[in-house]
Amino acid sequence: MPTPKFRMPSSLTSLTVQSGSTARIRNTTGKASSLTVHQRKEKAIEREKTQQEVDEAVNEWFNNTMAKANELAERFNKKPRYFLDIFFHGGARMVNTREKVNPHSAFLSMKSQELRDDGHVMSMLNIQRDYKEEYNALADEEREELVREYKENLDSNKKLRRPLPRGRIQDIANIKRNMIYLLTGLKARVGIEGFFCIVRNTPDYSIQPQWYFTTEALADYMKIAVRKKWDAHDVGIKIEAFAIAGCDPVNLLNTSKQKADYLKSQIRHRFESNLVEITGNPNAVMHYVRFEEDIVLRYGIDLVGYTYEKLVNPSLLSTSILPLK
């Protein structure tokens, strides 16, 4: 039996290419050159700067919005939450609106309202048939005036839909579900554990604090990590009370002495933290009696903006709330 042999063709033809293999078209475009370490660092700095500018712009808008809500609340004797609801849900007024009103439609609508006010109820078809000549007799100026009047009636009768208690609770449930989805995906992708607690900050509706732990083991560990007794329900209730009080601990204190003691502790903490920050010494301690010798001369700094006449230990200050604030 003759031994099979393989022979390279002397010349490549179209038939040879087709019978030998499928022709491939290679991408001749070269890969983009990789960035250098310096270039990557510059781009990272640029992205960080842009993100910082975005955050600052958003924070500025939010602060201005909160300030405006407080201003309107004081002006109209309402709660800031009333205006915040209008600000953030006011977009509902722009949904399904018609920018241009047809004069004929305005005429039919207002004629129907006029008949109802007189105790007569007619269908739109009958109104269109019986009052066709009246509409045709209107001049252009009268039709424009009719449209303006119709729009004014719409604006005066338009009511903004504010979220009812049930709607707010449903909104919280939806957001909580989305947050759980996000945390679950993040846990699977990069490996994280955590928890969150959602509480209301207004007494306008009622809902229990909403807790979520990425693992039950973390919830059990909190009982060990916290020195005092940990109870998620009790902690949630306290956080809720703090939020409803405007996130101001002073509003949770009952007596004037409790409020004064809290404010004094905040003053003392502010002294200590600012001293550590300006000196760069984490062990720096505030001295009230020997302030000139132990602080001014030692660190070369001075106290600016102190509202009391004499510098004393905050515990010795008056219990009057207004000066402490």
**Block mean pLDDT (10 aa), the chain, length 325:** 39 38 46 75 88 87 88 88 73 50 86 77 85 88 85 64 75 91 89 94 88 93 83 89 81 70 80 86 84 86 80 80 70
Give the residue extent of every domain in the chain. 39-89, 103-160, 166-248, 253-316
- Please state, in angstroms and rounded to a whole number, the distance separating the CA atoms of residues 295 and 304: 13
Rg (CA), the chain: 36
- Please state, in angstroms and rounded to a whole number, the distance separating the CA atoms of residues 47 and 155: 45
Query: Which amino acid appears at position 264 of this protein?
Result: K
Q: What three-state secondary structure class fits 2? A: coil
Q: Which residues contact 203 (CB under 8 A, 6 or more apart)?
A: 244
- Please state, in angstroms and rounded to a whole number, the distance separating the CA atoms of residues 324 and 92: 44
Q: What three-state secondary structure class fits 195? A: strand
What was the pLDDT predicted at 325? 64
What was the pLDDT predicted at 238? 87
**Verdict on whether the full-model pTM lies above 0.85:** no
- Please state, in angstroms and rounded to a whole number, the distance separating the CA atoms of residues 238 and 173: 21
What was the pLDDT predicted at 5? 37
Q: What is the per-residue DSSP string for 281-315?
A: -TT----STTHIIIIIIHHS----S--SSS---GG
Give alpha helix (H) positions in the chain: 14-20, 37-76, 80-89, 103-117, 124-130, 132-136, 140-157, 165-190, 216-225, 232-244, 256-279, 291, 298-299, 321-324
